[in-house]
Amino acid sequence: MAPTLDLFVPGVVYLDIIFTGLRDLPRPGTEVWATGLGSCPGGVANLAVAAARLGLRTGLGTALATDAYGDFCAQTLCDQEKIDLSASTRIDGHSPVTVSLAYDRDRSMVTHSHPPPLNASGLVGALPAARAASVSLSKDELPWVRRARESGTLVFADVGWDDTDEWPAEALAMLSDCHAFLPNAVEAMRYTRASSPEEAAGRLAGLVPVVVVTCGSDGAIAIDSATGELVHAPAVPVAALDPTGAGDVFMAGFILGTLEGWPLGQRLAFANLIASLSVQHFGGSLSAPGWGDIADWRRLSADPGYAFLDDVIPSGEQRTVRRATATIARLSDAQDHG
């Protein structure tokens, strides 16, 4: 039976509250003012929303609390972004919350959460059939990843920051069941003990079919282990407002290009482009561009490296995407604007 989803995204959804336009970060005993404020679903919702806005049939496997924050996230994800929540559940308690402070083209975050209820496979519910899935690597075994690979699902992996500063190689063991690994340059170099992103990518290429190392304003590099193809794609220069979720938007673009069978260079260029477009708005998930944003950028760009967009941008009028707003909407507001 054909998969019902293009992408399945398991993990934790946070309620993100993002402050932007800070002239400085707060020091003990001081107060700073922000010129911008947004709120939106965060965590794995960043990837799910970005993929859904590109037209991928996206499912989310998470536990959403029954408080007002959880209601807001559920309404936004299901009604507004049309994400399948059938593999998710609602639980009593309070939602995990992250406060993000965007400052000087970077951000600092404060988070409060409790561990979500997981089954023996590390999922909230059953593993649905999907063409692709995402996972964040950890030292803990996640049996569903191997089952996904064995069923033909392409698993795309990233990795979180190691606050122990140990960066153990055991955390990469799961890559044997993954199709692609997309760390940032710092993560890649720490795990491989390499002195450059290029060296790190070369070492990781022996562990996974496709490795992509994102390098911020220096773009991204990718290696196809099967062919030995090495590609570098420069970043698209933009005025950045908030980098929250840019890596997730990048991954969504790379997954789309992979499922569509694009050449490696086009996948990398497209992922760079939409990640750059996302940082022009605040809010991780709701900063993700839709095809209308991509079409608008293409009409203003003469970059020959993006000529392939003329063949992949869907024809017809595109749905206008919503951006993060300053307040948590009342349920009536969410229903009126869904």
CA 115 from centre of chain: 20
pLDDT higher than 80, residue 179? yes
- Look over the chain and give the mean of its residue pLDDT values, rounded to a whole number: 89
pLDDT at 200 over 90: yes
Residue 79 lies in a domain: yes
Kindly state whether residue 317 falls inside one of the protein's structural domains: no
Q: Is the CB of residue 305 less than 8 Å from the CB of residue 268?
A: no
332: in domain: no
What pLDDT sits at residue 327? 67
DSSP of 41-63: EEETHHHHHHHHHTT--EEEE-E
Please give the tally of structural domains in the chain: 1
Supply the pLDDT for residue 321. Answer: 82
Residue 326, pLDDT above cutoff 80: no
Tens-digit pLDDT profile for residues 243-256: 778 899 999 999 99
CATH of residue 288: 3.40.1190.20
Is residue 316 assigned to a domain?
Answer: no
Mean pLDDT on 148-168:
92
336 within some domain: no
- State the residue range of the domain holding 130: 5-25+34-311
* Interstrand relation of 36-43 and 13-20 (parallel, antiparallel or unpaired): antiparallel
User: Is 336's pLDDT higher than 50?
Assistant: no
Buried b (16+ CB within 10 A) or exposed e, 61-93: bbbbbeeebbbbbbbbbbebbebbbebbeebee
pLDDT-derived band at 317, boundaries 50, 70, 90: low
pLDDT at 334: 41
How many Cα atoms within 13 Å fall on the side-chain side of residue 74?
19
How large is the C-alpha radius of gyration of the chain?
19
Structure-block tokens of residue 195: 């002195």
- The pLDDT assigned to 102 comes to 77
The confidence band for 105, taking pLDDT boundaries of 50, 70 and 90, is low
Is there a domain that residue 176 lies in? yes
Burial category of 129 from C-beta neighbours within 10 Å (exposed 0-12, middle 13-18, buried 19 and up): middle
Question: Tokens 């003469």 correspond to what residue?
Answer: 302
Tell me which of 119-133, 244-258, 283-297, 307-321 is least confident.
307-321
Q: Is the pLDDT of residue 338 over 50?
A: no
Whole-number Å distance between alpha carbons of 178 and 7: 14
Q: Are 74 and 64 in contact (CB under 8 A)?
A: yes
Q: Could you tell me if residue 334 is inside a domain?
A: no
Nearest to 247, CA basis, from 11, 12, 47, 42: 47
**Within 13 Å, how many C-alpha atoms sit on residue 154's CB side?**
19
pLDDT at 175: 95
Q: What are phi and psi of 2, to 5 degrees?
A: -65, 145
User: How high is the pLDDT of residue 237?
Assistant: 85
Q: What is the pLDDT of residues 6-27, one digit of tens each?
A: 999 999 999 999 888 888 888 8
Average pLDDT (224-239) is: 91
DSSP assignment letter at 64: E
Top pLDDT among 322 and 334 is at 322
Domain assignment present for 282 = yes
pLDDT mean over 229-258: 90
Are 243 and 107 in contact, with CB atoms under 8 Å apart?
Answer: yes
Residue 280 has pLDDT above 80, yes or no: yes
